[in-house]
Amino acid sequence: MTNHFGDVVGHSKVIFIIGANSAAANPIGMKHFLQAKDRNNAQLIVVDPVFTKTAAKADHFLRIRTGTDVALVYGLMHVIFKNGWEDKEFIKTRVYGMDEIKAEAMKWTPELTADVTGIPAEQIVQIATILAKTKPATVVWALGITQHSTGTSNTRILPILQLVLGNMGKNGGGCNIIRGHDNVQGSTDMCCLADSLSGYYGLAEGSWKYFAKSWGVDYEWLKGRFAAPEWMQAKGFSLAKWWQGVLQEETTYSSSPVRALWVQGNGITSMSQQVKIQEALDKLDLVVLVDPFVNEAAVLTNRKDDMYLLPAATQFETEGSVTATNRTSQWRSKVVDPLYESKTDHDIMFLFAERFGFYDEYTRAMKMAVKDRELQPVKEEFVWPDDACREIARTIKTIGLGGWTPERLRKHQENWHMFDPLTLEGKGPMKGEYYGLPWPSWDENHPGSPVLYDVNTPVTAGGMGFRNRFGLEHDGVSQLADPSVSVKDSKIAGGYPEITKDNIEQVLGITLTAAEKEKMGANWKVDLSGIINEKCLAAGVAPYGNARARVKVWQFPDPIPKHREPIHSSRPDLVERFPSYDDQKNNFRVDVKFVSEQKAQEWVKDFPTMLVSMRVVNLSGAGMLERTSKYLSHLTPEMFANIHPDLALQYGLRDGDMMWLHAPQGTKIRVKAQYSLTVTPDRIALPYNFAGVMQGVDLSDNYPEGTKPYTIGESSNTITNYGFDIITQIPEYNAGLCRIEKA
- Amino acid 515: pLDDT: 95
Bridge partner residues of 670 (DSSP): 660
Question: In 10 A of CB 344, how many CB atoms?
Answer: 21
Residue by residue, DSSP assigns 608-627 as -EEEEEE--TT--TT-TTGG
- Amino acid 732: pLDDT: 94
Does 719 lie in the same domain as 665?
yes
Q: Are 342 and 292 in contact (CB under 8 A)?
A: yes
Does 247 lie in the same domain as 137?
no
Does 135 lie in the same domain as 18?
yes
Residue by residue, DSSP assigns 421-448 as TTT-BB-GGGTT-BTT-PSP--STT---
Statement: residue 191 has pLDDT above 90: no
Does 272 lie in the same domain as 298?
yes
Q: Are 673 and 658 in contact (CB under 8 A)?
A: yes
Cα–Cα dist 609/151, whole Å: 22
Does 332 lie in the same domain as 198?
yes
CATH of the domain at 655: 2.40.40.20
- Rama region for 248: left / alpha / beta (φ>0; ψ in -120 to 50; rest): left
Q: Are 7 and 438 in contact (CB under 8 A)?
A: no
Q: Are 106 and 60 in contact (CB under 8 A)?
A: no
Does 190 lie in the same domain as 163?
no
pLDDT per residue as tens digits for the range 349-390:
999 999 999 999 999 999 999 999 999 999 999 999 999 999
- Amino acid 700: pLDDT: 95
- Amino acid 257: pLDDT: 93
Which residue segment(s) compose the domain that 353 sits in?
184-204+239-418
Long-range contacts of 158-163 (CB under 8 A, 24+ apart): 158/18, 158/73, 159/549, 160/73, 160/77, 160/101, 160/551, 160/561, 161/73, 161/76, 161/77, 161/131, 162/137, 163/90, 163/91, 163/94, 163/95, 163/98, 163/549, 163/551
The mean pLDDT value for 591-608 works out to: 97
Residue 350 CA to its chain's centroid (Å):
28
Q: Are 175 and 158 in contact (CB under 8 A)?
A: yes
Cα–Cα dist 243/257, whole Å: 10
- Amino acid 396: pLDDT: 97
Kind plus residue range of the DSSP H or E element containing 131? helix 121-133
Residue by residue, DSSP assigns 134-164 as SSSEEEEE-HHHHSSTTHHHHHHHHHHHHHH
The residue out of 159, 177, 195 marking a domain boundary is: 177
The mean pLDDT value for 33-49 works out to: 97
- Amino acid 481: pLDDT: 97
Bridge partner residues of 684 (DSSP): 611, 643
Cα–Cα dist 727/720, whole Å: 19
Does 291 lie in the same domain as 155?
no
Does 157 lie in the same domain as 57?
yes
Does 196 lie in the same domain as 146?
no
Is 136 within a domain? Answer: yes
Kind plus residue range of the DSSP H or E element containing 211? helix 205-215
- Amino acid 268: pLDDT: 78
Does 160 lie in the same domain as 188?
no
Cα–Cα dist 551/493, whole Å: 24
Task: Report helix, strand and coil shares of the chain as percent, to nearest 5.
Answer: 35, 15, 50
Domain count within the chain: 3
Does 623 lie in the same domain as 697?
yes
Cα–Cα dist 481/167, whole Å: 16
Cα–Cα dist 411/429, whole Å: 10
- Amino acid 622: pLDDT: 78
The sign one gets for the Cα dihedral 44, 50, 56, 59 is: positive
The residue out of 158, 177, 196 marking a domain boundary is: 177
Cα–Cα dist 509/308, whole Å: 60
**Full 3-state SS string of 290-357:** EECCCCCHHHHCCCCCCEEEEEECCHHHCCEEEECCCCCEEEECCCCCCCCCCECHHHHHHHHHHHCC
Q: Are 20 and 140 in contact (CB under 8 A)?
A: yes
Residue by residue, DSSP assigns 195-206 as S--GGG--SSHH
Residue 510 CA to its chain's centroid (Å):
39
pLDDT per residue as tens digits for the range 8-21:
999 999 999 999 99
Cα–Cα dist 204/9, whole Å: 42
- Rama region for 265: left / alpha / beta (φ>0; ψ in -120 to 50; rest): left
Q: Are 689 and 620 in contact (CB under 8 A)?
A: yes
The residue out of 370, 393, 418 marking a domain boundary is: 418
Cα–Cα dist 551/413, whole Å: 39
- Amino acid 240: pLDDT: 93
Statement: residue 625 has pLDDT above 90: no
Backbone angles phi, psi at 229, to 5 degrees: -55, -35
Q: How would residue 506 be classed by pLDDT, with cut points 50, 70 and 90?
A: very high
Closest listed residue to residue 95, CA positions, set 166, 3, 173, 177: 166
Is 220 within a domain? Answer: no
Q: Are 235 and 194 in contact (CB under 8 A)?
A: yes
Statement: residue 184 has pLDDT above 90: no
In the chain, the largest separation of any two C-alpha atoms, in whole Å, equals 83
pLDDT per residue as tens digits for the range 111-166:
999 999 999 999 999 999 999 999 999 999 999 999 999 999 999 999 999 999 99
Statement: residue 298 has pLDDT above 90: yes
Closest listed residue to residue 156, CA positions, set 139, 169, 171: 139
Backbone angles phi, psi at 45, to 5 degrees: -110, 125
CATH of the domain at 193: 3.40.50.740
Q: How would residue 266 be classed by pLDDT, with cut points 50, 70 and 90?
A: confident
Statement: residue 180 has pLDDT above 80: no
Closest listed residue to residue 289, CA positions, set 269, 257, 311: 311
DSSP 699: -
Statement: residue 267 has pLDDT above 80: no
Is 12 within a domain? Answer: yes
- Amino acid 128: pLDDT: 98
Q: What is the CA radius of gyration of the chain?
A: 26
Is 515 within a domain? Answer: no
Is 497 within a domain? Answer: no
pLDDT per residue as tens digits for the range 73-117:
999 999 999 999 999 999 999 999 999 999 999 999 999 999 999
CA separation, residue 284 to residues 112, 165, 277 (Å): 49, 52, 11
The mean pLDDT value for 397-411 works out to: 97
pLDDT per residue as tens digits for the range 429-470:
999 999 999 999 999 999 999 999 999 999 999 999 999 999
- Amino acid 349: pLDDT: 96
pLDDT per residue as tens digits for the range 570-591:
999 999 999 999 999 999 999 9
Is 143 within a domain? Answer: yes
Is 16 within a domain? Answer: yes
Residue 481 CA to its chain's centroid (Å):
27
Amino acid (one-letter) located at 13: K
Q: How would residue 282 be classed by pLDDT, with cut points 50, 70 and 90?
A: very high
CATH of the domain at 66: 3.40.228.10
Exposed/middle/buried for 337, CB within 10 Å: 0-12, 13-18, 19+?
exposed
Cα–Cα dist 418/424, whole Å: 9
Cα–Cα dist 595/322, whole Å: 40
Closest listed residue to residue 422, CA positions, set 4, 7, 1: 7
Is 290 within a domain? Answer: yes
Residue 577 CA to its chain's centroid (Å):
30
- The answer, yes or no, to whether the previous bond of 385 is cis (omega within 30 of 0) is yes
pLDDT per residue as tens digits for the range 710-733:
999 999 999 999 999 999 999 999
Bridge partner residues of 660 (DSSP): 670, 741
Q: How would residue 397 be classed by pLDDT, with cut points 50, 70 and 90?
A: very high
Residue 378 CA to its chain's centroid (Å):
37
- The answer, yes or no, to whether the previous bond of 136 is cis (omega within 30 of 0) is yes
**Pick the residue with more confidence: 193 or 458?**
458
Angle at 131 between CA 128 and CA 136, to 5 degrees: 170
Cα–Cα dist 321/189, whole Å: 13
Does 329 lie in the same domain as 377?
yes
Statement: residue 252 has pLDDT above 90: no
- Amino acid 600: pLDDT: 97
Angle at 559 between CA 555 and CA 564, to 5 degrees: 125
Task: Give SS3 for 660.
Answer: strand
Full-model pTM = 0.96
Q: Are 16 and 182 in contact (CB under 8 A)?
A: no
- The answer, yes or no, to whether the previous bond of 440 is cis (omega within 30 of 0) is yes
